[in-house]
């Protein structure tokens, strides 16, 4: 079976700065892949190029065998790729339920889009644990609940692949554990996941496989335990000590 997403030789330059340099990465259907690396290693740039926020300087991105390199973000979203941002984002003046209803208005139109594990916005809110807050304004939610709303908004677009950019940033231990429980369920609902986070305990709980970036290049890719024991990874990312 071909990977759900295949990245080949991906490069991105901002003026004289190379943010990505010839990155190859394949994401297998049904897995939860982690992408880690020090600040400035190119992790968020990788997501931004895949989702069309930035045009690549070189290389290609294929989703389910289709070349999506350089497509606009809305076209990539409709193809079946969802994305949560580092900062929790929502329409602050609208109710929680209204936010999810709006996010679900523009769903992917490819084959299989009619299947959805959460047939209504309220069912999706129930999945992420926000059903009781459906009528609250998004702007008054506590930070942890706003993070969960961001996840609901991404899922409302019915993605086949979900990219999570530091989803646990700012969460306490209880909120992080709840998030882990939700994300672990997604492959069972037909959603492949790729996640960026600096919390290595979180990544070990979620990911059987890690890819490591450093200065825009991939330096490791494999089973989580093996990657975290790699001397090069220990030296570059973890300062020689996990």
Per-residue pLDDT at 111: 38
In whole angstroms, give the CA distance from residue 1 to residue 233. 29
pLDDT band at 41 (very low <50, low <70, confident <90, very high): very high
Residue 27, pLDDT > 50, answer yes
The percentage of the chain sitting over the pLDDT mark of 70, rounded to a whole number, equals 92
Mean pLDDT taken over the chain: 90
Tokens 């004289």 -> residue: 16
The dihedral formed by the CA atoms of 38, 43, 44 and 48, expressed in degrees to the nearest 10 = 160
Per-residue pLDDT at 12: 97
- pLDDT, tens digit (0-9, with 9 covering 90-100), for 163-184: 999 998 888 889 899 999 999 9
- pLDDT, tens digit (0-9, with 9 covering 90-100), for 46-102: 999 999 999 999 999 999 999 999 999 999 999 999 998 766 678 889 999 999 998
CATH number of 5-236: 3.40.50.300
The percentage of the chain sitting over the pLDDT mark of 90, rounded to a whole number, equals 72
Would you give the DSSP letter of residue 124?
H
Q: Cβ distance 27 to 192 under 8 Å? A: yes
pLDDT band at 106 (very low <50, low <70, confident <90, very high): low
CB atoms within 10 A of CB 235: 12
Residue 103, pLDDT > 80, answer yes
């Amino acid at each position: 079976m071909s990977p759900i997403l295949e990245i080949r030789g991906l490069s991105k330059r901002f003026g004289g700065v190379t943010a990505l340099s010839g990155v190859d990465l394949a994401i297998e259907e049904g897995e939860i892949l982690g992408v880690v690396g020090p600040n400035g290693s190119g992790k968020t740039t990788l997501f931004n190029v895949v989702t069309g926020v930035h045009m690549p300087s070189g290389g290609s991105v294929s989703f389910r065998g289709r070349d999506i390199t350089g497509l606009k973000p809305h076209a990539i979203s409709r193809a079946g790729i969802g994305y949560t941002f580092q900062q929790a984002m929502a329409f602050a003046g609208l109710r929680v339920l209204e936010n999810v209803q709006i996010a679900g208005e523009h769903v992917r139109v490819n084959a299989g889009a009619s299947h959805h594990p959460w047939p209504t916005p309220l069912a999706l809110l129930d999945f992420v644990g926000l059903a009781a807050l459906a009528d609250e304004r998004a702007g008054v939610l506590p930070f942890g609940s706003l993070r969960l709303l961001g996840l609901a908004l991404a899922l409302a677009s019915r993605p086949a692949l979900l990219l999570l950019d530091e989803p646990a940033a700012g969460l306490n231990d209880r909120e992080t554990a709840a998030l882990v429980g939700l994300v672990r369920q997604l492959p069972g609902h037909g959603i492949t996941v790729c996640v960026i986070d600096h919390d290595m305990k979180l990544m070990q709980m979620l990911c059987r496989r890690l890819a490591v970036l450093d200065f825009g290049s991939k330096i490791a890719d494999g089973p989580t335990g093996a990657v975290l024991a790699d001397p090069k990874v220990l030296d570059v990312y973890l300062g020689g000590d996990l």
